[in-house]
Chains A and B, each alone.
Chain A
Amino acid sequence: MAFTFAAFCYMLALLLTAALIFFAIWHIIAFDELKTDYKNPIDQCNTLNPTVDRVKKIKRVRLALKLVLPEYLIHVFFCVMFLCATEWLTLGLNMPLLAYHIWRYMSRPVMSGPGLYDPTTIMNADILAYCQKEGWCKLAFYLLSFFYYLYGMIYVLVSS
Chain B
Amino acid sequence: VSFSRAFESYNFKHSSARFSTCALSVRPFSVSSHPKHAHRAASESAQWPIYTSGDSSSTTTGSASPVPNSYESVEGGGYSGTSLQASLRHLHPYSQVLTLLSSALGGLGGVSELEAETLRPVNLLQERNILPPKHAPPPEPNLSNDLRKVNCSPDTFRCTLTNIPQTQALLNKARLPLGLLLHPFRDLTQLPVITSNTIVRCRSCRTYINPFVSFLDQRRWKCNLCYRVNDVPDEFMYNPVTRSYGEPHKRPEVQNSTVEFIASSDYMLRPPQPAVYLFVLDVSHNAVESGYLNVFCQSLLDNLEKLPGDTRTRIGFVTFDSTVHFYNLQEGLSQPQMLLVSDIDDVFIPTHDNLLVNLKESKELVKDLLNALPGMFTHTRETQSALGPALQAAYKLMCPTGGRVSVFQTQLPTLGAGLLQSREDPNLRSSTKNVQHLGPATDFYKKLALDCSGQQIGVDLFLLSSQYSDLASLACVSKYSAGSVFYYPSFHHVHNTAQSQKFQKDLQRYLTRKIGFEAVMRIRCTKGLSIHTFHGNFFVRSTDLLSLANVNPDSGFAVQMSIEESLADTSLACFQAALLYTSSKGKRRIRVHTLCLPVVSQLSEVFAGADIQAITCLLANMAIDRSISSSLSDARDALVNAVVDCLTAYRANGSNIQPSGLITPAALRLFPLYVLALLKQKALRTGTSTRLDERVFSMCELKSQPLLQIMRMAHPDLYRIDNMTEQAALHLNDSVIPQPPLLQLTAEKLTREGAFLMDCGSVMFLWVGKCCNETFIRDVLGYPNYASLPSNMTEIPELQTMYSERTRAFISWLLESRTFHPAFHVIKDDTSAKTSFFQHLVEDRTESAFSYYEFLLHIQQQMSK
- Which chain A residues have a beta carbon within 8 Å of chain B's beta carbons? 35, 37-38, 41-44, 46-55, 57-58, 109-112, 118-120, 123-126, 129
Contacts and interface: CB of A to CB of B under 8 A. Distances in A.
Contacts of B268: 48
A120 B448 CA distance: 12
Contact of A125 (B204, B450, B562): B562
Interface stretch (B382-390, B422-430, B453-461): B453-461
B542 A46 contact: yes
A106 to B, nearest CB: 15
B446 A120 contact: yes
A47 to B, nearest CB: 6
A47 B580 contact: yes
Given A35-B543, A41-B205, A48 B269 contact: yes
B540 A120 contact: yes
Contact of A50 (B440, B480, B518, B562): B518
A51 B266 contact: no
Interface stretch (B57-65, B92-100, B134-142, B531-539): B531-539
Contact of B206 (A43, A111, A112, A123): A43
B266 A44 contact: yes
B443 A111 contact: yes
A110 B480 contact: no
30 contacts: A37-B542, A38-B543, A38-B545, A42-B206, A47-B520, A50-B269, A50-B518, A51-B455, A51-B456, A52-B269, A53-B542, A54-B454, A54-B539, A57-B541, A57-B542, A110-B442, A111-B443, A112-B443, A112-B447, A118-B446, A119-B450, A119-B539, A120-B450, A120-B480, A120-B539, A123-B541, A125-B531, A125-B532, A126-B532, A126-B533
A110 B438 CA distance: 12
B522 interface: yes
In the A-B complex, the 10 residue pairs with the smallest Cβ-Cβ separation, listed nearest first, are A123-B540, A125-B532, A111-B443, A37-B542, A38-B543, A124-B533, A38-B544, A48-B269, A38-B542, A49-B269
B541 A54 contact: yes
Contacts of B453: 54
A111 B473 CA distance: 12
B648 interface: no
Interface SS, B side? mixed
B543 A123 contact: yes
B526 interface: no
Given A38-B545, A109-B443, 6 more contacts: A41-B203, A110-B439, A110-B441, A110-B443, A120-B450, A126-B533
B1 interface: yes
B12 interface: no
A11 B446 CA distance: 44
A129 B2 CA distance: 13
A130 to B, nearest CB: 11
A66 B539 CA distance: 21
A54 B481 CA distance: 13
B666 to A, nearest CB: 33
Interface string B500-535: 000000000000000000101010000000111110
A129 B562 CA distance: 13
Interface in B296-312: none
Contacts of A119: 450, 539
